[in-house]
């Protein structure tokens, strides 16, 4: 019967990805483990480029990581 199986392994045709997905993949981010709710999420750099800002996806606890010339090369952190 037709429609019983779905092929999830096929590649998307070239040029079919959205602009939003392309922009998100190039946007600087930090990986944050939110200890408050035991979840991982990304936080992204703000419009002025002065800090990475975001919040816990479960409890909405805010987190801000300032950008500094003497800062860390690390890309993953734990908050709260």
| Cβ–Cβ < 8 Å for 54, 43 | yes
Whether 18 is covered by a domain: the verdict is no
Whether 42 is covered by a domain: the verdict is yes
Mean pLDDT of 17-40: 81
Domains held by the chain: number: 1
pLDDT at 10: 54
User: Which of 25, 19, 72 lies closest to 44 in space, CA to CA?
Assistant: 25
What confidence tens digit (pLDDT) does each residue in 41-80 have? 999 999 999 999 999 999 999 999 999 988 888 899 999 8
pLDDT band (50, 70, 90) for residue 19: low
What confidence tens digit (pLDDT) does each residue in 26-37 have? 889 999 999 999
Helices (H), 1-80: 19-26
Whether 45 is covered by a domain: the verdict is yes
- Domain of 55? 28-79
């Amino acid at each position: 019967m037709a429609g019983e199986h779905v092929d999830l392994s096929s590649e998307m045709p070239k040029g079919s990805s959205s602009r939003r997905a392309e922009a998100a993949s190039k946007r600087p981010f930090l990986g944050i483990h939110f200890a408050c709710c035991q979840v991982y999420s990304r936080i992204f750099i703000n419009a002025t480029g002065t800090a990475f800002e975001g919040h816990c996806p479960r409890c909405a606890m805010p987190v801000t990581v300032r950008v500094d010339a003497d800062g860390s090369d690390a890309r993953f952190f734990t908050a709260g």
